[in-house]
Chains A and B, each alone.
Chain A
């Protein structure tokens, strides 16, 4: 079982739709969580950190469920420019630092 798992998609949604991605992690020692966005042939860029209390940034909402060991990303009112791959990232501190990226979920927003 992979330490960080994401549905690879692709998710094909119309403009204006709401779309949600989930990411599960297996190590309960995981301590910090992030969503990154990667456009085609570009580097991953931080979208948002994920805090236990949940956090929102405009149309984007991230949530963390430690009990079930998953994080989620909700995108409201999807735009064409939201088309990208969304990577889930988990950092752990278990006798040392470890960072694991999920394989990513591809999103296509259509006009």
Chain B
């Protein structure tokens, strides 16, 4: 049973370039989350979707960040233009539907380690 899939696993880019991170959630999960993790700030929720609809993007740091979920099996997080302070690990997670024990649980992908030079 495949877990959450993210690509690329590592990305090194130069300041000013566009970066696109990709995520495939676990089939059947109805929520998808994008997180960013740094040593200084820990794990931060950027945005989440429910049934492909963006629900809360209050964690998106600024307009350079955008996220889409065109269908239930794919989401992207885009940074344009990228800056050195965007360097972090970006995790995607999906969540089991509500109802019963074991629900409401997030499962994380392996993350994308982004370095902006």
Contacts and interface: CB of A to CB of B under 8 A. Distances in A.
From A45, A99, A104, residue with most partner B Cβ within 10 Å: A99
Interface stretch (B21-29, B74-82, B108-116): B108-116
A19 interface: no
A64 to B, nearest CB: 14
A104 to B, nearest CB: 7
A43 B108 CA distance: 6
Contact of B105 (A34, A87, A98, A104): A34
Contacts of A101: 35, 42-43, 45
Interface string A9-25: 00000000000000000
Given A43-B91, A87-B43, A103-B42, A96 B56 contact: yes
Interface of B: 31, 33, 35, 42-43, 45, 48, 50, 55-56, 91, 101-102, 104-111
Given A98-B56, A99-B33, A101-B45, 4 more contacts: A42-B110, A43-B108, A99-B45, A101-B42
B108 A49 contact: no
A103 B104 CA distance: 20
Contacts of A91: 104
A73 to B, nearest CB: 16
Contacts, number: 42
Contacts of B107: 46
A96 B43 CA distance: 20
Nearest to B104: A32
Interface in A54-99: 87, 89, 91, 96-99
Nearest to B95: A99
Given A44-B43, A103-B42, A104-B42, A49 B105 contact: yes
Contacts of A44: 43, 91, 108
Nearest to A55: B101
A98 B31 CA distance: 12
